[in-house]
Structure 1
Amino acid sequence: MSTAIPVENINYWRHPSLSGIELSQAEFTHFSFDKHVHLDYHLGVVTQGAQQFVNKGSSYQLGQHSLSTLNPDETHDGQSRDADGYRVKVMSIPVEYMNEVSQELGLKEHFFSAPMVDDPMLYQYFIQLHELLIQGQCSALAGESHLLNFIHLLLERYPSGVSSCITKPNQPQGLSKLQVSLVKQRIHDEPWHNTQLETLANEVSLSKFQFLRQFKQATGMTPHAYLKRVRLELAKKSLSHGALVADVAQQFGFFDQSHLNKAFKQAFLLSPVQFQRRML
């Protein structure tokens, strides 16, 4: 008997006492995420079916009993592995919050060495924590205590790894890690700016064609796609704090509110207004 999930659906929540923590729960059948990045850490579990995704050129399948551990600014995609679709629970944790917890534990800035871990205990704990927080009925003390305990266990079991940015022998040298960082920082500092390809290329002393090719090789995304995603991620944060949709569109470089609506819905399956109603 088929257990197909009939519709594409996503919902968002925010616990009133945990500023910056975003919770979502979704059902996807045919919807496919294009290559994108997040500004925060994204942890998630699949509770039905399985999700397949590509991260750093390697393919993964996130099924039951595993936990996704996606670092900020790490390019990936996502779609259902099977025709029946999948259900997923996700928690977005700001970099500042994760760094604060790491420092309290005496750890350096954390960076997960793999985009998923197979850990049935943490899988079940995450589901319980997610349910507790979306219900919003626990006290601020209880909610953050459970969250900190979960993060503590996660960081303790899976210590920070080292990014594998090693150039292979006889491989043409592309953009350095520092150059990529400089370009990304310019985009993050001025997301509203109608940045020209030539301007970004000049930052690293490359032609437009060399820069376009090498940036995509380094990040998995074109500069335009990266800028668009950064704008959407920042728009999402502003909307969750009550900013007007029209102001958000202007603030982050969209042509107008209609342009933001279209891009936002394409990325998150909800209009900015629908998303905001769920978060406020």
Structure 2
Amino acid sequence: MMTPEHIEYWHNPVLPEIELSRAKLTQFEFQKHIHLDYHVGVVSHGCQQYCHKGNTYLLTPGSISTLNPDETHNGQSRNAEGYEAHVLSIPAHYVKQVSDELNQGELFFNSPLIDTPRLQFAFLQLHQMLTSTQQFSSLEIETSMMAFTTELFSKHSELQPVKQNITTGLSHQQICQIRELFHDDLSHTFQLETLAVKFNLSKFQFLRAFKKTVGMTPHAYLKRVRLEHAKKAIINGGALSDIANQVGFFDQSHLNKAFKHAYLITPAHFQRRVL
């Protein structure tokens, strides 16, 4: 019987910017959220159900979940038995290296679910290698990571898709402007009215347009961006109170609560795992 509601995190010293996790969950639900990096996930036991761009998918053994940065999704167990999921988070700059090797532009996964048991098995082997206490050479680790990532993107990705305006939504250019505002000054206190005025919209119009385009409210999106940056800052070391201020939380207590709600682990425990 699986231990419920538990997530572990790792960073292999050979690939310190690659985040790995393993979750054993039954009742915990991931609310709608985004990631800054590319996320690849596999379920070894049970079934995870998640919503992506209005469609519902079932991640079961034999399949791979592939999510691009900034794609809104959620996640929960399909049944009472729960599930065990293994996740690999790949930074955009690493994928850029892969795209250069493939002589392509910016790469994006072309489907949120891939039914390829052989590739799924290769993923689990890689995940086990990167999280194992057993010693592997840097060459073996880097070669395995690059081989898997290159095959994954070469067979299941496409060039950056053309972004189209969504009726009553925001354009790709407008969304990029908002993202730049958020990422450039995480500690800034953003006001809904100030954001709306930038696009000659009322607060209601802006809120509705943003949610229709992104799938989340501006507040939920910004909160998640701040949490993603907090994780990266924790990995780099530093006082949690300072990190909380740097990424825009009122204090460490607010960071603790939001971090635990999103990742099922406190910042302090996460810091001890990765440092």
Shorter-chain TM-score: what band?
over 0.9
**TM-fit CA distance, 1:21:** 0.3
The match for 2:250 among 247, 250, 255 is: 255
Match of 1:98 in 2: 95
After superposition, give the CA deviation of every residue in 1:156-207 in whole Å (9 maximum; x if it has no partner): 2113155475468xxx442111111111211111111110011111221211
TM-score scaled to structure 2, two decimals?
0.96
Aligned partner of residue 83 in structure 1, secondary structure: coil
Q: Which runs of 4+ in 1 moved over 6 A?
A: none
The match for 2:130 among 128, 133, 136 is: 133
Match of 1:201 in 2: 196
In the TM superposition, what are the counterparts of 1:111-150 in structure 2 within 5 Å? Answer: 111-136=108-133, 137-150=135-148
Aligned partner of residue 44 in structure 1, secondary structure: strand
How large is the Cα RMSD of the aligned pairs? 1.4
> Is 1:153 matched up with 2:148?
no
Match of 1:16 in 2: 13
Match of 2:57 in 1: 60
After superposition, give the CA deviation of every residue in 1:191-247 in whole Å (9 maximum; x if it has no partner): 111100111112212111100001000011000000000000000011111121111
> Is 1:33 matched up with 2:30?
yes
TM-score scaled to structure 1, two decimals?
0.94
CA distance in 2, matches of 1:206, 1:62: 39
> Is 1:190 matched up with 2:188?
no
The match for 1:179 among 144, 160, 174 is: 174
CA distance in 2, matches of 1:6, 1:159: 35
- Identical aligned residues as a percent: 51
Unmatched 5+ stretches in structure 1: none
Report if the CA contact (8 A) 2:168-2:209 is conserved. Answer: no
Match of 1:232 in 2: 227
The one-letter code of the counterpart of 2:126 is: L
The one-letter code of the counterpart of 1:187 is: F
Aligned partner of residue 111 in structure 1, secondary structure: strand
After superposition, give the CA deviation of every residue in 1:38-76 in whole Å (9 maximum; x if it has no partner): 000000100000111111111111111011110001100
Unmatched 5+ stretches in structure 2: none
In the TM superposition, what are the counterparts of 1:204-223 in structure 2 within 5 Å? Answer: 204-223=199-218
The one-letter code of the counterpart of 2:30 is: F
Aligned partner of residue 160 in structure 1, secondary structure: strand
Relative distance call for 1:83 and 1:165 in structure 2 (3 A) is: farther
CA distance in 2, matches of 1:164, 1:62: 27
**TM-fit CA distance, 1:19:** 2.6
The one-letter code of the counterpart of 1:238 is: A
The one-letter code of the counterpart of 2:191 is: Q
**TM-fit CA distance, 1:122:** 0.6
